[in-house]
Amino acid sequence: MSRKNIQKAIEFLRKGKLIVVADDDDREAEGDLVGVANLVSPESVNFMITFARGLICVPISKQIADHLELGEMSEKNTDSFGTAFTVSVDHQETSTGISAYDRAKTIEFLAKNGSVSGEFHRPGHIFPLIGKEGGVLERRGHTEAAIDLAKLTNQSEAAYICEILNEDGTMARRPQLVQFAAKHKLPFVTVEELVTYLNAEEPLTVKLPTVFGEFDLTLFEDQQHKEHLVLSKGEIRQPKEPLLVRVHSECLTGDIFGSHRCDCGEQLHEAMRMIEKKGRGAILYLRQEGRGIGLKNKLRAYQLQEKGMDTFDANLVLGFKPDERDYQFAAEILGTFGVEEIDLITNNPEKIEQLKAFGIKINQRVSIEITPIEENRNYLKAKKEKFNHLLSI
């Protein structure tokens, strides 16, 4: 869930909202409210003052600090974790500098392109912090985490943060931080999750010319190191309209050997034709063979089917649920492209419900029916009558 948590946090930050970030239990073991500096508002600053109660600081990159001539507050830093405070500042357009409006103004101008050193009074009521250039991969602090998160939103390398205290003035620790985030409906993430997210390899993408047209093929690896694929056409990142999508579970016998026991290969190829015709869309090819029971057990299920069982009952006899598939990683893949709403090519209502539960909006279902043949007629009948697939057979 680490990837999904970070992606949700990024989306909150892009909208100018706040998130809760907790550092490691063996470090400061505290949590901060975090926002992106050039999306700051007086309301969010006031929320920090009211509910977090800590010190509002502005993590900035070394480049911004150098440009604004913000050197470290102390020549000899004896802070336990080397937090790089600069001299405090107020922007020249503020009055006393302490109101939520004044502090938001100062934060905004610290992040604004074109700001210059002379615009800021020293000392003031906002405390910039200089982050390490390697981010959390170099130093696992809130300063670096906030800057890394700001960068992931494609905003400037500046954030604003505030430690979260309990109502009695003590530091909020992990259990209280989780409760705080839930109470205020804010994403809760950890520095560890951010490190994992940033350490993940960039998806590997190649061009794939096929008999149905030219596509891009992208590889994604899940947390169990299983490799999944996205076959896409056209620009699919952060689409302005619902994206045409097929979520297809691997079927070696149907997809590769053209098995007549099922309609999987024909559905895959028809989806490729549909996306090629539209000129834009994606097929998520999930490695969950045999409705999630694996190839060996799928062949065992075939043996039972040869004795008269259908695919539904065969899985039950083998000790599995009729359908073991899970679509959470499909939703996470769509999230990496910024896809929130899709036109889903499917006959499977369970797939629709799972994707909805994982945050994907289904604009419409696009039917994909293959003409039955003698060998797969009973298979399609079981799909309709026992798996409740939306088929006309």
Q: How far is CA 243 from CA 31, 231, 282, 326, 362, in A?
A: 37, 13, 8, 21, 10
Tell me, yes or no, if 323 is annotated catalytic. yes
Q: Are 29 and 23 in contact (CB under 8 A)?
A: yes
Q: Are 165 and 52 in contact (CB under 8 A)?
A: yes
Q: Which of 3, 23, 325, 343 is catalytic?
A: 325
Residue 310 dihedral angles phi and psi, to the nearest 5°: -95, 175
Return the structure tokens found at 217.
């093929």
**pLDDT (tens digit, 9 = 90+) per residue, 246-271?**
999 999 999 999 999 999 999 999 99
- Give the integer Cα–Cα distance in Å for 204 and 219: 5
The pLDDT assigned to 2 comes to 66
- Give the integer Cα–Cα distance in Å for 340 and 348: 19
Q: Are 263 and 370 in contact (CB under 8 A)?
A: yes
Domain-wise residue ranges, the chain: 1-199, 205-288+325-387
- What are the start-end ranges of the E strands in 72-186? 89-91, 120-130, 159-164
The pLDDT assigned to 79 comes to 80
The pLDDT assigned to 75 comes to 80
**pLDDT (tens digit, 9 = 90+) per residue, 338-360?**
898 999 999 999 999 999 998 89
- Give the integer Cα–Cα distance in Å for 334 and 237: 9
Indicate the DSSP class of residue 387. Answer: S
Return the structure tokens found at 362.
């289904």
1-199 in CATH: which number?
3.90.870.10
- Give the integer Cα–Cα distance in Å for 315 and 17: 46
DSSP H helical segments within 289-348, as ranges?
Answer: 289-292, 295-306, 311-317, 328-336
The pLDDT assigned to 393 comes to 78
Helix (H, G, I), strand (E, B) or coil at 284: strand
The pLDDT assigned to 335 comes to 84
- The alpha carbon of residue 118 and the mean position of all alpha carbons in its chain are separated, in whole angstroms, by 39
Sites in the chain below the pLDDT cut of 50: none
Tell me, yes or no, if 90 is annotated catalytic. no
Bind-site residues for Zn(2+): 251, 262, 264
- The alpha carbon of residue 121 and the mean position of all alpha carbons in its chain are separated, in whole angstroms, by 39
Tokens 């905003």 sit on residue: 155
* pTM score above 0.75: no
Q: Are 56 and 49 in contact (CB under 8 A)?
A: yes
Bind-site residues for GTP: 246-250, 267, 289-291, 311, 346, 351
Q: Does domain 205-288+325-387 have CATH number 3.40.50.10990?
A: yes
Bind-site residues for Mg(2+): 28, 142
- Give the integer Cα–Cα distance in Å for 339 and 172: 35
The pLDDT assigned to 337 comes to 86
Bind-site residues: 27-28, 32, 139-143, 246-251, 262, 264, 267, 289-291, 311, 346, 351
Return the structure tokens found at 230.
């996205």
Q: Which of 148, 310, 323, 343 is catalytic?
A: 323
Report the amino acid identity of residue 77: N
